[in-house]
Every structure is written in structure tokens, then in C-alpha cells.
Amino acid sequence: MKTRVITISDPEQQEKEIMEAAQLLRSGQVVAFPTETVYGLGANALDAEAVGRIFKAKGRPSDNPLIVHISDISTWHKLVEAIPKKALLLADKFWPGPLTIILKKSKLVPEAVTAGLDTVGVRMPAHPAALKLIELSGVPVAAPSANISGRPSPTSAQHVIEDMNGRIPMILDGGKTEVGVESTVLDMTGSAPMVLRPGGVTVEMLQAAIGQVRIHPNVMRPVQKDEKVRSPGMKYVHYAPKAPVTLVRGELNRQVEFINKEAARLEKEGKRAGILATDQTLSRYQAGIRLSMGDRENPADIAGKLFARLREFDELGVDAILAEGVEEKEEGLAVMNRIARAAGFHIIDL
């Protein structure tokens, strides 16, 4: 299949181009498009066969549900059963934006989307090209991240081309994505709202809006054997570059010392270490290939750069990646969740 890449610089002026993508969605095809979080791989959420093409293009396990993207609130009311007051409040405050809300699904939503669950995650993305695409398609759009399953999520059209060229008919190129990590997933079906995946709408922001919000224990530790999985995505290796990743946590000077020692040890063995540092520490490393994931005082900056850096290490061909830890608060929690998962939860606590 030939993949067309169409640059979208001004969605308002480019209705014709976006209409072509919308027609593909309407005819049951899969299209990659930019959102403010990462690039999505979309299909008509009401068409089980079209949704099946997403799983095929990504090589995604069929028991991992998809998030449904909408461009107006009235569609949400059709996709779910009752919407609790707190969910309405959050939608009002954070949509369009990087927040996915899980509620009981209506009959309209095919099981192919929810992987057989009786709940569905819905969000309204903030990227103008995404909103225009959904609006012109006239249907809700199921979309996971537009990477091959297990790879770091794409934050530029180039990343999507790397993974999806030849597999899908069209990629809309809207430049680099702003947030850089996937949406916050909030389960509102239980007695208290629970964050299943941290993202751009932080736990602190949610708590300020609706009071108590829990964080699922699997955000920072792996699913244990025999443990009931709240979100199927938690089971899978994710965001992983080719080289094994080690995440180092603890007092910063000790992190730097540990990573320097470990990189030197790897070099002695004839291996290339990749060091994922921060702006503040980059110059303190001597061995290996060193990249900064951003300003550690500004975790949103790191979220924006993280996945691109993991892909760069793939291209540079390192044998092992040593990643610094940042504070697990605000956007830092999403950053640490993604690195921990890229590391398969191989974490060194100092």
C-alpha cells in the first residue's frame, strides 16, 4: 500500500485535504493524524471492521482497548451510559485536551473498540487538525498511538512514517506534537476516580477540580502475577527502544555517580551506553552517548522530548540505556511512568 503524507499547516484553510482523510475514515480505512499528545492512528469507531485494521497495522494485541476521539460533547452522550456530575465537570474544564474519561459504554460502541470490556474511554483532542478531521468524518474516531505496538509513541510525522509507511493509506503531518506523552486515562466507573495512566492533565490538576483522585498502583510498579488488571494496556511492554533501559531514582548526585560508573563498566565490556540525562546534568557525564530529555525543573518540557530521545537512541545504536529519574509529581509522574515502562520496570533505587 502506498502511504500519502499530507502537510497540514492551517486546518481552517485546508478543509479540502482534511476532507480526503475524512473520506478515507468514512470508507472504513485507517488514517494517522496529529493530536496535541502524540500522533493517532484513527478509524471509524462505530465500524468493527475498520477498527480491526488499526490492530492489524499496529500489531496491537486485540485485548488492549482503544480510546474514542470526539469533536463535540453530544457524541459523548451517545457513546456512554449515564455521565456523572464530576465527569461533566472535568470535560467542561479539560476538553478539548489530554484527558480520557472511562465510563460504562452504550450499545453503540462495538466490542472491537473496547476489547470486550463494558466500558469505553473517550476524549476530545485539542489539536485543530484532529478536531477538524473528526468533525468532517461525522463519526467518532477510535485511535491509539500511531506506532508499531511496543515502540515509543510518535511525536512527529517522521516517527509515524518510520513505523507505518506502506501499512496505511494516509498520514496527516501537523508537525511536532505539543504535550509529547499520551493522554491521562481516568477511570470514573468505580467509587472514586482513579488515574490508570498519568498524562498532560496532571493528578494535581484533577484533584484541584474534583477533590480526591487515586493513582493506580500499577502506574509505577509492574502488574503482579495473578493480579486483576484494571487497564489491559498495563500488562504490555510499552514505549520500548531496542536497547534495554534502566531507570535510576534517588538523590541526584548519587544518580549521576551511579550512571557514570555503570557507563564506564559497559564501555570496558566493549558496549555503548546511552545516557538519558537532563539539561542540568548533561555535562557531568564522561562516557557513552549522552542526550538530554530536557529541563528537570520543567517536567512538561521533558514530556515533550522523551519519546523522540528514545527513538534517537535506536538510531544511534546503543547497547543499553541509563535514564535519570525526575520527581514523580505534575507532568513528572507521566514522564516517570513512561520511562519505567520503557524499562520494563527495571528500576534502581539509590
Positions touching Mg ion (CB under 5 A) are 144-145
Q: What, of Mg ion, ligand AMP, none, does residue 66 touch, CB below 5 to 8 Å by kind?
A: ligand AMP
Assign 186 to helix, strand or coil.
Answer: strand
Helices of type H across 35-127: 48-58, 73-79, 85-94, 111-114
CA dihedral 336, 340, 343, 348 (to 10 degrees): 90
Q: What are phi and psi of 123, to 5 degrees?
A: -150, 160
Question: Is 23 within 8 Å of 44 (Cβ atoms)?
Answer: no
CB of residue 121 to ligand AMP, shortest distance in Å: 4
Q: How far is the CB of 269 from Mg ion (least distance, A)?
A: 33
Q: Which of the choices ligand AMP, Mg ion, none does residue 173 contact, using the CB cut-off of 5 to 8 A by kind?
A: none
Q: How far is the CB of 293 from ligand AMP (least distance, A)?
A: 20
Residues in the site for ligand AMP, rule: CB under 6 A? 64-67, 102, 114, 117, 119-121, 144-145, 182, 185, 196-197, 231-233
CB distance 285 to 275 below 8 Å: yes
Q: Pick between residue 145 and residue 156 the one whose CB is nearest to Mg ion.
A: 145
Comparison of 67 and 259: residue with beta carbon closer to ligand AMP: 67
Three-state DSSP class for residue 347 = strand
Q: How far is the CB of 26 from ligand AMP (least distance, A)?
A: 21
User: Quick one: 37 or 145, whose CB is closer to Mg ion?
Assistant: 145
Query: Which of ligand AMP, Mg ion, none has residue 262 at its interface (CB below 5 to 8 Å by kind)?
Result: none
Indicate the residue whose CB is closest to ligand AMP: 233
Q: Three-state DSSP class for 302? A: helix
- Nearer Cβ to Mg ion, position 34 or 144? 144
Q: Which of ligand AMP, Mg ion, none is residue 102 near (CB under 5 to 8 Å by kind)? A: ligand AMP
Residue 152 per-residue DSSP state: P
119 binds, among ligand AMP, Mg ion, none (CB under 5 to 8 A by kind): ligand AMP
Q: Which does 64 bind (CB under 5 to 8 A by kind): ligand AMP, Mg ion, none?
A: ligand AMP
Give the nearer residue to ligand AMP in terms of CB position, either 232 or 244: 232
Supply the minimum distance, in Å, between the C-beta of residue 187 and ligand AMP.
6
The CB-of-35 to ligand AMP minimum distance in angstroms stands at: 10
Concatenating the DSSP letter of every residue in 104-124 gives: EBPTTS-HHHHTT-SEEEEE-
Strands 31-33 and 245-249: unpaired
Q: How far is the CB of 285 from Mg ion (least distance, A)?
A: 30
Q: Shortest gap between Cβ of 91 and ligand AMP (angstroms)?
A: 16
Question: Can you tell me the distance from the alpha carbon of 39 to that of 204, in angstroms, rounded to the nearest whole number?
Answer: 25
301 contacts 323 by C-beta, under 8 angstroms: no
Q: Return the C-alpha cell found at 84.
A: 456523572
DSSP H stretches of helix in the chain:
15-26, 48-58, 73-79, 85-94, 111-114, 128-137, 157-164, 203-210, 252-268, 299-316, 331-342
Q: 145: which DSSP letter?
A: B
Residue closer to ligand AMP, measured from CB, 163 or 182: 182
Between 188 and 318, name the residue whose CB sits nearer to ligand AMP: 188
Q: Say whether 217 sits in a helix, a strand or coil.
A: helix
| Residues linked to residue 188 through DSSP beta bridges, in sequence order | none
